[in-house]
Amino acid sequence: MNMKDHILTALREQFDRWEEVLASLSEEQITTPRFDLDWSIKDVIAHLWGWQQISIARMEGGVLDREPEFPKLVADLGDNWEDNADRVNAMTYEANHKKPWIEIHQIWREGFLYFLELGNKIAERDLLDGSRYPWLKGYSLAFIPVASYDHHQEHLEKLIDWLREHAK
C-alpha cells in the first residue's frame, strides 16, 4: 500500500468509526450539552464540519492547482484567521448551534465523503511533495488529511471516554 492509500484508508476508517458511534446514540444523547463550553455531540460534529470546510478548500486547491478558496466564515476574519482558532470555533458554533441534528449530520457526512473523494483525485507525488503548493508554506498536502484524521480522533476519544464514564 502506498502512502496516499494508507492515509485515505485511515481517514475512511475514522469516518466509519464516527458513523458507528453516532448510529448507536439517540438524538437526545447527541443534542444534550455535555462537553467543554457546554457543547453537545451535535455541536462537536458542527465544529468538525467547520474545520472540514477549510480542509476541503485546501484539497480543492490541490486538485485544481490553485490557491484555496476558504469558506466565508474564515475569509471574513482576514489573513490571520489561522492564528485565532477560538474565534473560528465560536463563529462555527454560533452559525450552527440551532440547526437540527439531521442537517448537521448530513453536511458533516457529505463533507467527509467529498474530502475523501478529493484525496483520491490527487496524485501521490503531489500529495507528498512539500514544495508542490507554495500556499502551504513548506507543508505537503498530505498534512491536511492527516490533521483532519487527528482532529476527528481527538474528539472521538473524548466522546468514547465520556460514554464509558456514563455507562457505569
Range scoring the smallest mean pLDDT among 21-25, 75-79, 105-109: 75-79
- Quote the pLDDT of residue 73: 81
Q: Which three cell numbers stand for residue 20?
A: 458507528
CATH code for the structural domain at 3-166: 1.20.120.450
Angle among Cα 49, 151, 118 to the nearest 5 degrees reads 60
C-alpha separations of 132 from 8, 52, 65, 166 in Å: 19, 22, 9, 47
pLDDT at 41 over 70: yes
Q: Are 34 and 40 in contact (CB under 8 A)?
A: yes
Start-to-end CA distance of the chain, whole Å, equals 41
Characterise 38 by phi-psi region: left (phi > 0), alpha (psi -120 to 50), beta (else).
left
Q: What DSSP assignment string belongs to 51-71?
A: HHHHHHHHHHHHHHTS-----
Q: Is 139 helix (H, G, I), strand (E, B) or coil?
A: coil
Domain ranges of the chain: 3-166
Q: Is 106 helix (H, G, I), strand (E, B) or coil?
A: helix
pLDDT at 101 over 80: yes
pLDDT at 106 over 90: yes
Angle among Cα 21, 24, 25 to the nearest 5 degrees reads 100
Q: How confident is the model at residue 168 (pLDDT cuts 50, 70, 90)?
A: low
Question: pLDDT tens-digit profile of 51-98?
Answer: 999 999 999 999 999 999 998 888 777 777 777 888 888 899 999 999
What's the predicted TM-score (pTM) here?
A: 0.94
